[in-house]
Amino acid sequence: MSAASAALSVTGEAVYQAAGRDDLPAVAKLLAAGAPVDYRDSARRTALMFAALGGPTEMLRLLLDHGAEIEARSEEDVTALVMAAQYGNSDAVRVLIERGADVETRSEEGKTPVMWAAASESLDVLIQLLQHGADADATDKEGQTAEMQCEHPGCLDALRNAERMQRWHRRRPLLVWRR
C-alpha cells in the first residue's frame, strides 16, 4: 500500500477517493476499519458508481460485499448499472446484474441501461442486458427506443432478436412428475 493510502482517514470520502484511483488495498483497509461505503460526492455519486466506470471487478464486489447500495442514484438520476452501460463496461454490468441490479432502471430522461448500451454501441453489454430480461422496446420520455439510438449493425440485430434471445435464456428443463 502506498504512503498516501496509509495516510487516509477512515471516512466514506476516503473510500470514494481510493475507489476512484482503483486502489483496492486502500478501499479494503478503509472498509475493514469501518469507513462508510456509500459516501456521496457533490453530484451524489458513490464509490460503486466510480467502480462501475472501469477498473477491477474486484472493487465492485468488495463494495457490494460491504453493503454498497446497488440502486443508489446520482444527481443525474443514474445508477451504477446505467453508468457501466454508458461506458460499455461489460464486466461491471455482469457483476451488477449478478448482484441484483435492476436491468429496467431508468435515468431522469427515462433511458434504460439497454438504451445507453445501444447509444454507446456496446454490443456485449447490450446482449447481457437483453439476456437478463431487459425490455428492448422500452421508450424514453421523448419516445425514443434503443433501436432508434443505435447504428451498429450488431446492436440492431440484437435488439431485433431480443425476444427470441430472451426466450432461449428463460428455458428451464422440464421435470417429469411420476407417482
pTM of the predicted model, to two decimals?
A: 0.84
In the chain, the domains with their CATH numbers are 9-69 (1.25.40.20), 77-167 (1.25.40.20)
The mean pLDDT value for 22-26 works out to 94
At 167 the pLDDT is 63
Query: Tell me: the pLDDT tens digits for 26-79?
Result: 999 999 999 999 999 999 999 999 999 987 899 999 999 999 999 999 999 999
Better pLDDT: 164 or 21 = 21
Give the mean pLDDT of the chain.
87
Q: What is the DSSP letter of 173?
A: P
Query: Tell me: the pLDDT tens digits for 124-153?
Result: 999 999 999 899 999 999 999 999 988 888
- Where do we find the cell 453530484? 43
Alpha-helix runs per DSSP H in the chain? 3-6, 12-20, 24-32, 47-53, 57-65, 80-86, 90-98, 113-119, 123-131, 153-160, 162-170
Contact 40, 75 (CB under 8 A): no
The grid coordinates of residue 117 equal 448500451
At 152 the pLDDT is 80
Query: Tell me: the pLDDT tens digits for 70-103?
Result: 999 999 999 999 999 999 999 999 999 999 999 9
